[in-house]
Amino acid sequence: MDVHEYQAAELLAKHGVPVNPGRVASTPDEAAAAASELGGTVAIKAQVHSGGRGKAGGIKLAHNPEEAKAAAEAILGMDIRGHTVNKVLVAKGADIVREFYLGVVLDRPNRKVLIMASAEGGVDIEEVARTTPEKIVRINADPALGFHSYQAKELGFALGLRADKVHGFAKIAEHLYTAFIKEDATLVEVNPLILTGAGEWLALDSKMSFDDNALYRHKDIEGLRDMAEENETELDARSSGISFVKLDGDIGCIVNGAGLAMATMDAVKLSGGEPANFLDVGGGASASQVAKAFSLVTSDPNVRAILINIFGGITRGDVVADGIREALSQVDVKVPIVVRLSGTNAEEGKKILAEAGLMAVDTMDEAAEQVVSAASGQAA
Amino acid sequence: MDVHEYQAAELLAKHGVPVNPGRVASTPDEAAAAASELGGTVAIKAQVHSGGRGKAGGIKLAHNPEEAKAAAEAILGMDIRGHTVNKVLVAKGADIVREFYLGVVLDRPNRKVLIMASAEGGVDIEEVARTTPEKIVRINADPALGFHSYQAKELGFALGLRADKVHGFAKIAEHLYTAFIKEDATLVEVNPLILTGAGEWLALDSKMSFDDNALYRHKDIEGLRDMAEENETELDARSSGISFVKLDGDIGCIVNGAGLAMATMDAVKLSGGEPANFLDVGGGASASQVAKAFSLVTSDPNVRAILINIFGGITRGDVVADGIREALSQVDVKVPIVVRLSGTNAEEGKKILAEAGLMAVDTMDEAAEQVVSAASGQAA
Amino acid sequence: MSILVGNDTRLLVQGITGREGSFHATQMVEYGTNVVAGVTPGKKGETVAGVPVFDTVEEAVRKTNPNTSIIYVPARFAPDAIYEAVDNGIELVICITEGVPVNDMVPVYHLVKQKGARLIGPNCPGLITPGEAKVGIMPGFIHEPGKVGLVSRSGTLTYEVVDALTKAGLGQSTAVGIGGDPVIGTSFVDVLELFQNDPDTEAIVMIGVIGGDDEETAATFIKEHVTKPMAGFIAGRTAPPGKRMGHAGAIISGGSGSAEEKIAALEAAGVRVADSPSKVPGLLRQAMNA
Amino acid sequence: MSILVGNDTRLLVQGITGREGSFHATQMVEYGTNVVAGVTPGKKGETVAGVPVFDTVEEAVRKTNPNTSIIYVPARFAPDAIYEAVDNGIELVICITEGVPVNDMVPVYHLVKQKGARLIGPNCPGLITPGEAKVGIMPGFIHEPGKVGLVSRSGTLTYEVVDALTKAGLGQSTAVGIGGDPVIGTSFVDVLELFQNDPDTEAIVMIGVIGGDDEETAATFIKEHVTKPMAGFIAGRTAPPGKRMGHAGAIISGGSGSAEEKIAALEAAGVRVADSPSKVPGLLRQAMNA
């Protein structure tokens, strides 16, 4: 789960990170008021769950409340990579002397938490990682004992910081690590972390993402969810235990298992079609689950045919077939349906489907070809 | 550092342990008021840093405020193993069905934290440990990862608890462990932990001790120190970096190093004397430190002679001798002094002492014999 | 022979009285797996499919001496269950549970290594040595004993490939589902090494999905250490970047972890990568005859 | 030969620019110890007694290859300093610092073991192999090279006994102060085992204090494994129960840890226990001639 910059900054401030003061505004007038309250130059920053805000014109400087109002007017409502800007952060202008990058992520290959820093802050860190990886310093926290103070200092010295700046930097690195662990984050990032003219450290832009699987123990973070940023259909699916991702094609897919669902999409593509979605009904595949899947898929007007691909494992083929039959009696599906049923009790399942007027095929490749044909208007 | 039962209970309650409600009272009237507020039968419990309160008559039941007042009158001012009772805890009477012991301590041989439980609660656990050790269940927390939930349950099942009671018990065990770690305790103990007639768990008597070395990060706990329970001289010594323990003999001892200080006491005893104190001046042994040591030792009217035993290591003998000379010019010492000086620059030190009119001997045994003679009125 | 599980397996089922646990315990017993004990705190004395249930792993170990454990407890209790298993000396732990928080798994992973034990999963279907022991949730009947070792990050996709192999007459030595989470106990490389050293495995199938770089790491290992013929499949060629595709691990970010990169790496290491699961058996035969 | 430190020691001093650190680094250099580097964050480029100072242990290790580290940092930073040393591959770490919270030392102790390193202390005077390397705060001049191994939980008391040994013509192979805290890295048993296996150590002196049961554990070990002649001393026979005598470890509680019990255990194991430090050399000679 992602949160906005201002929310991340508030969370990090709780963990002791010095963040730049700011106010959130939903209207140009609020932005002007915030600018006047903060005084001096402010930055008006689009709050969207997307990178590339700067390039898209989503960050503007304003030297007075009037300019702040104008900037907010320009930014609010803007579309940034498919995300509509509903809020801006009005942040106090900072006296930037040097910009750093500081982030905490999971290091998958090492199965450890990684703390990364770079003296090349304020720019796209993935670009730095690609082009000049030696400019990023990486230290793994101890998996049982955590991120030691000496490691945080090591990070600071490795960046070439002067000794009198290492202590403050190391403290911030330790706070970011603590925030990562305590809040069950999957990413904590400050970019840029700046040194001001007064020699102070300041987190100018904060980013946090959270592990959905751990939200049960972080009700406060769950409460930060911005529904405007979420795909309603995907949320709806999740509440039924279904993984759903909307895509641009016209072949609706209903599959059990994430890997098989991806393989099914690949098969559709290989047969010349374009999948309309990724959909994993999960293990159960009960009638209500299948009905829900149908309604998710058919809610997309682009869908011209549906492919159901079930490999009966623990889920028995006859149960799934029953589910499909019942679901079809509840949901009015107007496009052709191709069913592929294999594995446990597949034969019994096919019999049930035949009685319901649906033909089932044996292989995924065959099913993909048929559904692509069906979508292009030919006989299923 | 020790705290009172009521303070331990308050701390444990913060960590989620269900503790018996109670009020602290310093006068019989306050006790009566507390009893009337709590209602029903109450226990009046002496709050002193000492075990054996029950046997000493420091715990009494009272069925109404009048009885509570009388009980408090009897207990307040009582002497329990050398501790004067200044406060009582008025605790709500509990419906005890079963009594357990639950404690967290350091397991020195294994260098791990140990969680101990016994179905023989409410009695002296050290007695249980001596006579029927098999009745105590012991589990070590993982030194890096902590006390796992499964271990807390294991503890409950090992006590023979019914399954429906294990969960609540395990939670309390986990809370005690967390309190031990978070508060830097050296001991956390609930005895008895009871099951009430309503089937609820309740900590009826709580005990906590803390690591003096960790108090710097627990100002709140430092604030719980009961000055009435502390030996003023020992506290005064500690503030100067001197370890001091008052004893019953008449030979004052000033030594550098804890081990050597104990060995010096032993030598005094071996020579037929009785040490008046344990005193370790620590590493520095500067003039002010030695002066402080003199004033600590001479504040004890029983002291009839003083033995200074210094093994010059890093501390140079001449510096110590200077310190003694200066200290003697600041503090008026009326009893004979025997100095033993050895190690680094011992000869130079002896010369300085000779100039100050003090004779120094070479060995500890010799010094012990001389000081015992001096104390018994013979020539030093 | 085979790897990890077989006739020597003495299985403990943690969470055996739950809905999932009891269903699969029964299935495993029916398959012929030697299930020696189950654990659910508070259910001591009960039995599931004839298997005795204990309150703690400690007691189950003391009384029935299992060497392998499979975990079906809810996500928030799964890390504790893994600790309980390895602290009590279980050498092989299979965690089926999905939805375990990633940060919880980091210390678990390293403790398991430190204890010299092996963890498979979490969020995996388990593993099976056909005809000997099924330790997981896969449908047993699609498998046949044979000489093909299979390792996969995906569940149902594995069944799809196993089914194709069996229908093509290619039985399996052992099929291992390692799970799709970002932090898993056993990686492709670990299993590939076991297959390479297993005299009864003659060829290997590897099934990957997008996200992470485990397939790339495996490709490097294959190039240097695997001499047995291999075929593979990577799911997710059509997945858009940045979106989570069911598996917590299946996110493509920053241009790394894409199917194209994985396929290229595996092909460069000599693995024949199919564009459809159904083509895996044919490519494997080609590799075996090459 | 000797144990733990000697001519092969390449010493790093953590906290070298502090008051204690710089004083003792100078003393150690003067004694002839091969001090190769010091660390104090922010003091890189300075030197202390001719020893180069670095910001981090990582850099000091990379540039000067020490195998041993001695720690003089304040108590609240000492655990971190130990982690820094062992994480950077230092095999032997001596922590002089006193006042380290006990609960901090519990994970430290186990991490050091896990890394295969050895910690001595905290709250110890260090150790010395006379004529080769002094790694600690003891006065070097009271020692003489020889054949007596000495291990002690106390500081100045050790000097007392060493002085007596030297004056009696009994030089030392190595004298080790293990420290008096409840959780220390190296116990009596660890050192006794090293002395027993050290061909250059012919007799052993052990100095204990009241509190804990390390002396009793040592006695059990001595009975079973130590064949070399031994003498010892236990301080605190006159200490009252329940009171802390300077050392955090020196509290007698619940009737265990008393001097009488320790002396009885050691004597039962064949150790000649003196009633005064001055009598240790005589008893040791008796044991050596027995």
Nearest to B205 by CA among B46, B9, B3: B9
Mean pLDDT in residue range D116-131: 96
Interface test with A, best of D40, D80, D82 (most A CBs within 10 A): D80
SS (H, E, C) B99-144: EEEEEEEEECCCCEEEEEEECCCCCCHHHHHHHCHHHEEEEECECC
pLDDT of residue A71: 94
Q: pLDDT confidence of A191, banded at 50, 70, 90?
A: very high
pLDDT of residue C256: 64
Give catalytic status of residue D24 as yes or no. Answer: no
Least confident window among A147-156, B316-325, C120-129, D260-269: B316-325
Tell me, yes or no, whether B2 lies in a domain.
Answer: no
In the block, tokens 């600690």 appear at: D136
Q: Do A213 and C236 touch (CB under 8 A)?
A: no
In a shared domain, residues B180 and B263: no
How far is C174 from C93, CA to CA, in rounded Å? 16
Contacts of C209 in chain A (CB under 8 A): 258-259, 262
Residue B216 neighbours by CB distance under 10 Å: 13
How wide is the angle at C-alpha D123 spanned by C-alphas D122 and D126, nearest 5°? 80
Tell me, yes or no, whether B330 lies in a domain.
Answer: yes
Task: State percent of chain A over pLDDT 70.
Answer: 98
pLDDT of residue B323: 85
Task: State percent of chain D over pLDDT 90.
Answer: 86
Contacts of C59 in chain B (CB under 8 A): 157
Q: Do C106 and A342 touch (CB under 8 A)?
A: no
Tell me, yes or no, whether B323 lies in a domain.
Answer: yes
pLDDT in tens, D150-173: 999 988 899 999 999 999 999 999
Nearest by CB to C139, which of A269, A280, A312?
Answer: A312
Side chain identity, residue A208: M
How far is A13 from A204, CA to CA, in rounded Å? 12
| Residue B81 confidence (pLDDT) above 90 | no
Phi then psi for residue A280, to 5 deg, are -115, 115
| Residue B169, phi-psi category: left (phi > 0), alpha (psi -120 to 50), beta (remainder) | alpha
| Residue D251 confidence (pLDDT) above 60 | no
Give catalytic status of residue A183 as yes or no. Answer: no
pLDDT in tens, C192-213: 999 999 999 999 999 999 888 8
Q: Quick one: closest CA in D to B237, which residue?
A: D246
pLDDT of residue A285: 65
Chain C interface residues (partner B, CB cutoff 8 A): 41-44, 55-59, 77, 80-81, 83-84, 87, 107, 111
How far is B321 from B344, CA to CA, in rounded Å? 12
The answer to whether A144 faces chain B, any CB pair under 8 Å, is yes
* CATH number where A37 lies: 3.30.1490.20
**What Å distances lie between residue B222 and B7, B85, B101, B245, D246, CA to CA?**
12, 21, 27, 20, 20
Tell me, yes or no, whether A118 lies in a domain.
Answer: yes
Tell me, yes or no, whether B146 lies in a domain.
Answer: yes
In the block, tokens 């029953």 appear at: A322
**What Å distances lie between residue C34 and C7, C15, C29, C129, C161, CA to CA?**
8, 17, 7, 12, 26
In a shared domain, residues A296 and A313: yes
Q: Do A157 and D59 touch (CB under 8 A)?
A: yes
In chain A, how many domains are there? 3
pLDDT of residue A82: 82
- Given B38, B61, B92, which residue is the final one in a domain? B92
How far is A188 from A216, CA to CA, in rounded Å? 19
* Whether residue A133 has a cis bond before it, omega within 30° of 0: no
D172 has which bridge partners?
D148
In a shared domain, residues B237 and B343: yes
pLDDT in tens, B154-166: 999 999 999 999 9
D246 and B261 Cβ atoms separated by less than 8 Å: yes
pLDDT of residue B285: 65
The answer to whether B145 faces chain A, any CB pair under 8 Å, is yes
C285 and C146 Cβ atoms separated by less than 8 Å: no
A315 and A344 Cβ atoms separated by less than 8 Å: yes
In a shared domain, residues A62 and A157: no
| Residue D247 confidence (pLDDT) above 60 | no
In a shared domain, residues B162 and B196: yes
Tell me, yes or no, whether B4 lies in a domain.
Answer: no
Q: pLDDT confidence of C246, banded at 50, 70, 90?
A: low
Q: Do C84 and B148 touch (CB under 8 A)?
A: yes
| Residue B56 confidence (pLDDT) above 90 | no
pLDDT in tens, A89-108: 999 999 999 999 999 999 98
**Which secondary structure element, helix H or strand E, spans residue A67, and what is its range?**
helix A65-75
pLDDT in tens, B100-137: 999 999 998 899 999 999 998 888 887 888 888 889 99
How far is C57 from C69, CA to CA, in rounded Å? 10
How far is D208 from D234, CA to CA, in rounded Å? 5
In a shared domain, residues A158 and A34: no
pLDDT of residue B283: 65
Contacts of A163 in chain D (CB under 8 A): 41-44, 55
Nearest to D15 by CA among D94, D90, D87: D94
Q: Quick one: closest CA in A to D83, which residue?
A: A148
How far is B313 from C98, CA to CA, in rounded Å? 63
Domains of chain D, each with CATH number or no CATH? 11-120 (3.40.50.720), 138-289 (3.40.50.261)
Q: Do A157 and D111 touch (CB under 8 A)?
A: no
Mean pLDDT in residue range A326-334: 84
Tell me the pTM.
Answer: 0.92
Mean pLDDT in residue range A365-369: 94
| Residue C250 confidence (pLDDT) above 60 | no
The answer to whether A111 faces chain C, any CB pair under 8 Å, is yes
Mean pLDDT in residue range B147-154: 98
Mean pLDDT in residue range D30-45: 96
In a shared domain, residues B369 and B322: yes
Task: State percent of chain B over pLDDT 90.
Answer: 66
How far is D222 from D201, CA to CA, in rounded Å? 15
Task: State percent of chain C over pLDDT 90.
Answer: 86
In a shared domain, residues A206 and A242: no
Question: Contact partners of D by the rule of 3+ C-beta pairs under 8 A?
Answer: A, B
In a shared domain, residues A131 and A201: yes
* CATH number where B344 lies: 3.40.50.261
How far is D57 from D67, CA to CA, in rounded Å? 12
- Given A169, A201, A222, which residue is the final one in a domain? A222
In a shared domain, residues B242 and B338: yes
B370 lies in which domain range? 231-374
Question: How far apart are the CA of C87 and the nearest CA of chain B, in angstroms?
Answer: 10
Contacts of C57 in chain B (CB under 8 A): 150
Q: pLDDT confidence of C252, banded at 50, 70, 90?
A: very low
Strand order in the sheet with D203-209: D133-136, D126-129, D172-177, D145-152, D203-209, D230-235, D272-274
pLDDT in tens, A277-295: 999 987 666 777 888 898 8
Q: Do A154 and D56 touch (CB under 8 A)?
A: yes
- Given B222, B241, B262, which residue is the final one in a domain? B222
- Residue with more model confidence, B247 or C170: C170
Question: How far apart are the CA of D249 and the nearest CA of chain A, in angstroms?
Answer: 25
In a shared domain, residues B67 and B128: no
Q: What is the mean pLDDT of chain A?
A: 91
Contacts of B138 in chain C (CB under 8 A): none
Tell me, yes or no, whether B312 lies in a domain.
Answer: yes
Q: Quick one: closest CA in B to D235, which residue?
A: B263
pLDDT in tens, A62-86: 999 999 999 999 999 999 888 899 9
Tell me, yes or no, whether B66 lies in a domain.
Answer: yes
Side chain identity, residue D8: D
Q: pLDDT confidence of B379, banded at 50, 70, 90?
A: very low
In a shared domain, residues A28 and A126: no
B186 and D102 Cβ atoms separated by less than 8 Å: yes
The answer to whether A244 faces chain C, any CB pair under 8 Å, is no
Contacts of D56 in chain A (CB under 8 A): 150, 153-154, 157
Nearest by CB to A166, which of D42, D107, D111?
Answer: D42
